[in-house]
Structures are given as structure tokens and as C-alpha cells.
A = this chain, B = another copy of it.
């Protein structure tokens, strides 16, 4: 699922203020946001539409994995021989993998996985990750505690 990325230059302060409001509550009304940022409802709505269509922002529900029955998360460091891209593609196609990033460092790829149990995690890594062509090593960092997860950059 690649993000669309229409050009859309850097954001002005008003759009940043709108985003800040929606980071606190994605359902806050355009009218209420307009009062804070000093714009009419319609203007706020237009800017939100442009921001979402350009891919700069999206308004979504994010869930707590534990409450959803996924009690075990882990980050997997992956070392690859040969081309990295096809490996990254295959990883991204796995439903239990929710985050894939190509990195510079002692791993070529970091992949976050969400599982229901330790046994499912082990099976996933052994049978779906380590069997991908080009993967030569993996290291599992089991999550003991998620300490911070924010969707607001720079602010608060």
C-alpha cells in the first residue's frame, strides 16, 4: 500500500494547527477547529480534504494490540544477501507484519510483527520470514512493554 504523494509544498502554520487539533481528536468538528485556528468551517474542511488527498495526513482508528487479542509483538531485524527490495516487498505482504522499514546499519530491514502468542510468533519467523529468498539472518526483539507511542511530531 504505497502512499500517493502528490507534490504539495511545505505546510503553513494554519495547516499545522489544524493537524495538531486532529492529532488530539480525529473527530473534532471542522467548526470547532475553525474557531481555534481562525478560519471558517468550509475553509478548514477544504484544507483537511487537501491534506488527506495529498497523503500528508490521514484520520484513522488506531487500536491497542493487546485489547484486540494480539498479546505478543516483536521487532525483527533482518539481514539480506543480494537485493533488498524484493525481500521488503515479501515482508510487507505478510498480514502479521505491520511495519517494514529499509535501514542502514547492522540490519538491512526492520519489521514489526503482531501475533497472538509466542508460538505464533515463532512459527511466523521460522516459516514465513526466514524462508524468504535472500534472508540470511534474523534477530527477534520481543516486546516486554510498550512505553510510548505518539502520533504527534514536535508538539507536546
Q: A residues bordering B, Cβ < 8 Å? A: 1, 3, 5, 8, 10-11, 16, 19, 22-27, 54-65, 67-70, 73-75, 88-89, 91-92, 95, 97-107, 109-110, 114, 139-151, 153-156
Contacts and interface: CB of A to CB of B under 8 A. Distances in A.
Contacts of A114: 153-154
A62 B98 contact: no
Contacts of A11: 67-69
Contacts of A16: 68
A3 B65 CA distance: 12
Contact of A147 (B74, B102, B149): B102
21 contacts: A1-B148, A5-B64, A23-B63, A24-B60, A25-B59, A59-B59, A59-B62, A60-B60, A62-B62, A65-B153, A68-B153, A74-B103, A89-B147, A91-B147, A92-B147, A98-B151, A101-B146, A101-B147, A103-B142, A105-B140, A106-B139
